[in-house]
Structure 1
Amino acid sequence: MRILIMENDVQMSDALSNLLSEHNYQCDVAESVGDAKYYLDIRNYDLVLLGWPAGTPSSSLNVIGEIKKNAHKTSVIVISERLDKESEIDALRSGADDFIRKPIDEEILLVRIEAKLRFGASNIIEIEELIINPEEEKIIYQGNEIELKGKPFEVLTHLAMHKDQIVSKEQLLDAIWEEPELVTPNVIEVAINQIRQKMDKPLDITTIETVRRRGYRFCFPKKIG
């Protein structure tokens, strides 16, 4: 599970990142809205922790709407030192899924995150007869399960989540590999080839097209020719 921490308090963001990493969550930290938008453009997040400092206007919660618009299945938990009931109401009405007050009880935070991820909206992708279930790493086409696991599955899923968009090799590396700087772009070509060999050819469909010099695009499953 991947979590984006939007918190301009460096000490707090470091503490949250360390806590979540210890519990096997993959974390990115954004200290500004600009940084957050960059991460949200290249990666899929299951949950966003949004810091809302005292003294900042309610309009700063508008970012929640932007997150939900582009990734409606992503849960958002607002964390804030604000104690008044009105602030919690503002956050929830702005689209937040939960509101947690500082100082944060680590056990409560972890339980709240587990609850949102467990009961949050499904990430299952359904396009006609093709079903991709990221949580179970399962693909079903016309009722039959397709054997595609690991990085090829993650590449297919990422492209499917960004259907009709061109995604570059660099974006795929950043989104999927833990340390993208340590691998070469050739691993993307290998993953794409695995998808075509294990899925497209046997099923006589096309799921991914290569856009020369730009990257790859998930295209609607269709019969070849």
Structure 2
Amino acid sequence: MRVLVVEDETALRELLGRALKRQGFAVDLCADGTDGLHCATEYPVDLAIIDLGLPGTSGMEIVREARKRERTFPILVLTARSDWQDKVEALEIGADDYVTKPFRIEELMARVHALLRRSAGHAAPEVSFGPLTVNLSSQDVALGGEALDLTTFEYKVLEYFVLHPDQVVSKMELNEHLYEEDADPESNVIEVIIGRLRKKLDPDGDWAPIETLRGRGYRFRATG
């Protein structure tokens, strides 16, 4: 999953970037509103964290313009302002949640995970598909009640499928949402990861949860 962070305070921006990467997210960092607006409207973003008090284009304007252009990803706004009107305005123009500075990074990460779950239609952190259970907060995976050991990238691919069940997902889409903007993943990396996932999710060949659609990509079956 790919998260955009628009924050002009260098220390906070870098802290958020490190925290998100530790959680397995691909992260794009912007230091001002102008770059942030470009990324929010042009990049394949799964969630955005946007400071309201930005140089150049304001955080409010980024939220407003992103929604105007029908970008539907969840938006979490950061604000140092105590005025409740700012929070109300941000929510009314399209933000999904807010955190007031200073905040604990654990709280922000919990809100990020909750927003991603809700955007995919899941109220609880634990979701099940056939014999598979995935906890989107703890990132624990179980198959038939037994813990499943996945690598970081295997989990990231599985998480993207779980949040987009029964949808056709192209290899390009997976690359865009799993890798940093300047990354250059090898052309067969996605195929290798999906091949390993298939063996781990369906060792006996009874379920076949990941379909290959020739010339289109992949589809994760929500029912087993």
Q: By the TM > 0.5 criterion, same fold?
A: yes
Q: TM-score range by the shorter chain?
A: 0.5 to 0.7
Matched residue, 1:25: 20
Instruction: State the partner residue of 1:35.
Output: 39
Q: Tell which deviates more after alignment, 179-188 or 53-62.
A: 53-62
| Larger RCO, structure (CA 8 Å, separation 6 or more) | 2
The Cα of 1:88 is off from its aligned counterpart by 2.6
Structure 2: runs of 5 or more not aligned:
22-26, 115-123
Give yes or no for contact 2:154–2:197 (8 Å, CA) kept in 1. yes
- Structure 1 position 188, deviation (Å): 0.9
Aligned pairs (5 A) from 1:72-221: 76-79=76-79, 84-92=83-91, 95-100=95-100, 108-109=102-103, 111=104, 113-118=105-110, 121=114, 123-178=125-180, 181-202=183-204, 204-221=206-223
Shift of residue 18, structure 1, vs aligned partner: 2.9
- Counterpart AA for 1:184: E
Question: Residues 91 and 177 from structure 1, CA distance in 2 versus in 1: closer, same or farther, beyond 3 angstroms?
Answer: closer
Decide which structure has greater strand share: 1
> What secondary structure, in the 3-state scheme, does the structure 1 residue paired with 2:88 have?
helix
Q: Which is richer in helix?
A: 1
Which of the numbers 60, 68, 78 marks the counterpart of 2:64? 60
State the TM-score, normalizing by the size of structure 2: 0.67
**Long gaps (5+) in structure 1:** none
How far apart are the structure 2 equivalents of 1:75 and 1:213?
Answer: 33
Give the drift of 1:2. Answer: 6.2
Q: Which amino acid aligns with 1:5?
A: V
- Superposition TM-score, scaled by structure 1 size: 0.67
* Alpha carbons 1:6, 1:51 under 8 Å: kept: no
- Whichever of the two has the greater Rg, that structure is 1
Deviation at residue 84 of structure 1 after TM alignment: 4.4
Preserved contact between residue 167 and residue 216 of structure 1 (Cα < 8 Å) = yes
Code of the aligned partner of 2:5: I
After superposition, give the CA deviation of every residue in 1:140-195 in whole Å (9 maximum; x if it has no partner): 23323333333222211112212222222222223223477432121111111111
Question: What is the DSSP-based 3-state SS (H/G/I as helix, E as strand, rest coil) of the residue aligned with 2:166?
Answer: coil
8 Å CA contact 2:6, 2:51 repeated in 1: yes
Cα deviation 1:121-143 (Å, max 9, x = unaligned)? 35433335431124433222332
Q: Letter of the 1:35 partner, please give it.
A: C
